[in-house]
């Protein structure tokens, strides 16, 4: 029921987003086409500008949560400052290319929407600039604030359209949506955006002086900026990965210390409540036997000696059980597979349950292996105590950079959404152990349908170090932010609108 309701809500959001994309795309295309036909002509240099922007826009930079950053914003500003609004908007609309369009990863409507918000942004920026300044005759004191204002208008139009689309898609408020789409701190974001506007003004003045042969001067700095941005993002991601590793190791260390303390408490309780009682009983029985022998009561002494032997055997059994528990609890050199097999073999002796195992030999960091072992052990004990299962399946597999543990039984099942009965903390402890390693746990069960518990834990964070060329593995976000082809944006994925980002 919950899943169906969630799907209906998402489908309603998708319908609203498609309607909004139509509302933006169709009027924008008609407006740009009418203005271009009335006020502009397509000269050779404008066509070359369009091709240049298209080539640059094909090289976006992966930035954040699926977002891609375009390096074409300064070139878009050159168009806005150098050409009439209609010509600039038309060139921006056509030049706002997206590699995913060629791979058919975005729909026609999404492609038109991405290009439309680019064209509208440049149209508005160019109209503001040409209404207040003239690139040929206005002094620098006028051109700079005008260029600044034009870039603000470009950003306002672009971010406004994208924010509404993103809010419709995700159900977030517009304020939350704009925070999600912004990369970095607001001050840094605006400084970089406005700084690139001034760079665009410089390029426009150079274009007026030198002509279209100055294009390499535009393109080469943009490509260099792309590489610099790419490297800075790589360093930032590496820093975040190191922080995540440090936090994970600290949490694992604390958890392992807790596990060790729990084991010590269990041993202390056993020695005090069980073994000490047996030894105390032995001492009493020895005193009784001694009195019987001193009094010549041989039959009573013989009976007491038999009781001493019984107590001794029970004490030996309890000590062996403790040694066995201590031997199988830490993984030692045997590894996770042997530890689980040993636990299953030991448990199967006293349980009328069939165990089936499919456990791959996987090299795991010791903390991850130990947590998985305890989760598997707790899951099996829960199945034996509460599920009335006849069969228990245990599997451990490598799935990409994660290890997957699946526990499945054919028991009575339960409602995972219901609160656990009083005193039942097994599932809660399993969730805590999975969470402390940055993992996930999913429980699929229903009354009379058995139970399947799936645990996944990342392993790459605790390896010796990232392999060369490998990407860091941050925690999975709740949703991906998409991008669109605009000044400061790149084209969006199939399911989300674009986001404004300068480069």
Q: For each of the domains in the chain, give its residue range(s) and CATH number, in order of start.
A: 2-219 (1.10.1760)
Q: What is the average pLDDT across 128-137?
A: 91
Q: CA-CA distance, 434 to 375, in Å (whole number)? A: 8
Helix (H, G, I), strand (E, B) or coil at 251: helix
Q: What is the average pLDDT across 477-501?
A: 38
Q: What is the bridge-based pairing of β-strands 402-409 and 391-399?
A: antiparallel
Q: At what angle do helices 298-328 and 215-270 cross, to 10 degrees?
A: 180
What pLDDT, on the 0 to 100 scale, is given for residue 405?
Answer: 94
Q: CA-CA distance, 336 to 403, in Å (whole number)? A: 11
Mean pLDDT over the full length of the chain:
77
User: What is the b/e burial string over 388-414, where b = at least 16 CB atoms within 10 angstroms of the residue's CB?
Assistant: ebeebbbebeeeeebbbbbbbbbbebb
Neighbours of 472 (CB within 10 A): 16
Q: CA-CA distance, 272 to 303, in Å (whole number)? A: 27
Would you say 49 and 95 are in contact if contact means Cβ atoms under 8 Å apart?
yes
What pLDDT, on the 0 to 100 scale, is given for residue 33?
Answer: 83
Q: To which residue do tokens 């199945």 refer?
A: 383
Q: At a CB cut-off of 8 Å and minimum separation 6, what does 62 contact?
A: 68, 69, 230, 233
Among 322, 451, 476, which residue's Cα sits nearest to residue 386?
A: 451
Q: At a CB cut-off of 8 Å and minimum separation 6, what does 42 contact?
A: 87, 90
The pLDDT confidence band at residue 476, using thresholds 50, 70 and 90, is: very low
What pLDDT, on the 0 to 100 scale, is given for residue 503?
Answer: 38
What pLDDT, on the 0 to 100 scale, is given for residue 406?
Answer: 95
What pLDDT, on the 0 to 100 scale, is given for residue 35?
Answer: 81
Q: Which of 58-67, 255-264, 326-335 has the highest mean pLDDT?
A: 255-264
Would you say 24 and 163 are in contact if contact means Cβ atoms under 8 Å apart?
no
The pLDDT confidence band at residue 54, using thresholds 50, 70 and 90, is: confident
The pLDDT confidence band at residue 351, using thresholds 50, 70 and 90, is: confident
Strand partners, 409: 392, 451
Helical spans, DSSP H, in 40-184: 44-57, 73-82, 85-95, 99-102, 108-132, 140-170, 174-181
Q: Mapped to the 3 state alphabet, what secondary structure does 401-426 carry?
A: CEEEEEEEECCCCCCCCCCCCCCCCH
What pLDDT, on the 0 to 100 scale, is given for residue 281?
Answer: 81
Percentage of the chain modeled with pLDDT above 70? 73
**Phi-psi domain of 332 (left: phi exceeds 0; alpha: psi -120 through 50; beta: other):** left
Among 314, 411, 390, 408, which residue's Cα sits nearest to residue 348?
A: 390
Q: CA-CA distance, 431 to 71, in Å (whole number)? A: 44
Question: Residue 502: is its pLDDT beyond 60?
Answer: no
Question: Residue 492: is its pLDDT beyond 80?
Answer: no
For the chain, the first-to-last Cα distance in angstroms comes to: 45
Question: Residue 409: is its pLDDT beyond 90?
Answer: yes
pLDDT tens, position by position, 135-176 = 888 998 999 999 989 988 988 898 888 888 888 888 888 777
What pLDDT, on the 0 to 100 scale, is given for residue 63?
Answer: 45
**Phi-psi domain of 134 (left: phi exceeds 0; alpha: psi -120 through 50; beta: other):** beta
The pLDDT confidence band at residue 408, using thresholds 50, 70 and 90, is: very high
The alpha carbon of residue 221 and the mean position of all alpha carbons in its chain are separated, in whole angstroms, by 33
The pLDDT confidence band at residue 194, using thresholds 50, 70 and 90, is: confident
Helix (H, G, I), strand (E, B) or coil at 64: strand
Q: CA-CA distance, 63 to 500, in Å (whole number)? A: 12
């Amino acid at each position: 029921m919950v899943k169906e309701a969630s799907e209906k809500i998402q489908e309603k959001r998708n319908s609203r987003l498609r309607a909004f994309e139509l509302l933006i795309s169709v009027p924008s295309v008609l407006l740009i086409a009418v203005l271009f036909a009335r006020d502009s002509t397509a000269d050779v240099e404008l066509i070359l500008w369009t091709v240049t922007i298209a080539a640059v826009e094909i090289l976006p930079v992966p930035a954040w949560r699926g977002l891609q950053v375009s390096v074409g914003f300064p070139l878009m500003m050159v168009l806005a400052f150098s050409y009439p609004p209609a010509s600039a908007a038309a060139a921006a609309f056509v030049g706002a290319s997206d590699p995913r369009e060629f791979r058919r990863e975005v729909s026609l409507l999404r492609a038109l929407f991405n290009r439309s918000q680019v064209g509208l942004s440049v149209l508005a920026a160019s109209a503001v600039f040409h209404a207040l300044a003239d690139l040929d005759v206005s002094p620098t004191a006028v051109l700079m604030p005008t260029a600044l204002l034009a870039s603000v208008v470009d950003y306002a139009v672009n971010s406004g359209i994208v924010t509404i689309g993103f809010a419709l898609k995700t159900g977030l408020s517009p304020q939350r949506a704009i925070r999600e789409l912004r990369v970095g701190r607001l001050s840094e974001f605006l400084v970089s955006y406005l700084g690139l506007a001034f760079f665009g003004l410089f390029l426009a003045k150079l274009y007026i002086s030198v002509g279209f042969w100055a294009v390499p001067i535009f393109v080469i700095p943009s490509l260099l900026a792309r590489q610099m941005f790419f490297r800075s993002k790589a360093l930032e991601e590496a820093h975040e990965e190191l922080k995540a590793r440090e936090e994970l190791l600290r949490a694992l260390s604390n958890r392992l210390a807790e596990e060790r303390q729990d084991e010590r408490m269990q041993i202390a309780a056993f020695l005090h409540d069980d073994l000490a009682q047996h030894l105390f009983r032995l001492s009493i029985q020895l005193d009784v036997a001694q009195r019987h022998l001193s009094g010549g009561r041989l039959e009573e002494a013989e009976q007491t000696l038999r009781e001493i032997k019984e107590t001794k055997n029970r004490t030996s059994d309890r000590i062996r059980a403790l040694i066995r528990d201590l031997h199988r609890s830490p993984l030692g050199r045997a590894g996770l597979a042997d530890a689980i097999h040993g636990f299953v073999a030991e448990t199967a002796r006293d349980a009328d349950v069939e165990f089936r195992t499919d456990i791959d030999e996987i090299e795991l960091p010791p903390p991850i292996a130990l947590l998985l072992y305890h989760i598997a052990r707790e899951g099996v004990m829960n199945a034996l105590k509460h599920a009335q299962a006849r069969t228990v399946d245990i599997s451990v597999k490598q799935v990409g950079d994660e290890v997957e543990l699946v526990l499945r039984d054919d028991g009575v099942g339960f409602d995972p959404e219901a609160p656990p009965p009083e005193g039942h903390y097994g599932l809660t402890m399993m969730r805590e152990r999975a969470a402390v390693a940055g993992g996930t746990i999913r429980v699929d069960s229903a009354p009379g349908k058995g139970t399947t518990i799936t645990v996944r834990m990342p392993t790459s964070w605790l390896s010796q170090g990232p392999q060369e060329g490998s990407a860091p593995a941050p925690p999975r976000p709740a949703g991906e932010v998409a991008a669109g082809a605009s000044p400061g944006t790149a084209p969006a994925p199939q399911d989300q609108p674009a986001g404004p980002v300068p480069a």
